[in-house]
Chains A and B, each alone.
Chain A
Amino acid sequence: MNKEQSISRENELLIKTAVGDENAFRELYDLTNKAVYFYLYRLLKDRESAEDVQIDVFTQVWKGAKKFKGKSKVTTWIFGIARNLAMNELRKRKYHVNIDDYPEMTQDNSTDQGPDLEAMDQKKIIKNAMSKISSKHQEVLDLVFFHEMNYQEISDTLHVSVNTVKTRVFYAKSAFKKKLKQLRVYDDDI
Chain B
Amino acid sequence: MMMIYKTKDLKKMIPMYLNGRLSEDENREFENALESNPELADELNDFSDINTYYQGMEDEIPQPASNLYSRVISNIRSEEKKQSRSLTADTADSIREFFTNTFSTPRLAWACAAVQFAVIIVLLVANPIGNNEDNNMITLSGPNHVITKNAVMINVVFNAETKEKEIRELLNRTETNIISGPAPNGVYILVVSENKNVETILEEFDNSPIINNVGVVY
Contact = CB atoms under 8 A, between A and B. Distances in A.
Interface stretch (A57-65, A75-83, A92-100, A104-112): A57-65
Contacts of B90: none
A9 interface: no
B53 interface: yes
Interface in A42-62: 42, 47, 50-51, 54-56, 58-59, 62
Interface string B66-80: 001101110110010
A150 interface: yes
B75 A127 contact: no
A38 B58 contact: yes
Given A29-B69, A148-B20, A169-B15, A176 B50 contact: yes
A144 B19 contact: yes
Given A38-B61, A47-B62, A180 B49 contact: yes
A87 interface: no
Given A173-B46, A173-B47, A146 B72 contact: no
Contacts of A54: 64, 68, 72
A147 B139 CA distance: 95
A151 B16 contact: yes
B68 A148 contact: no
The range of chain A's interface size is 35 or more
A41 interface: yes
B12 interface: yes
A145 B72 contact: no
B12 A145 contact: no
Nearest to B15: A144
Interface of B: 11-12, 15-16, 18-21, 46-47, 49-54, 57-58, 61-62, 64-65, 68-69, 71-73, 75-76, 79
6 contacts: A38-B61, A54-B64, A123-B52, A130-B53, A145-B53, A177-B46
Given A50-B64, A166-B12, 11 more contacts: A33-B64, A33-B68, A54-B68, A59-B79, A126-B50, A141-B50, A142-B54, A144-B16, A148-B19, A148-B20, A149-B21
The 4 residue pairs across chains A and B that have the minimum distance between CB atoms: A145-B54, A148-B19, A150-B21, A58-B72
Interface of A: 22, 26, 29, 33-34, 37-38, 41-42, 47, 50-51, 54-56, 58-59, 62-63, 123, 126-127, 130, 141-142, 144-146, 148-151, 166, 169-170, 173, 176-177, 180
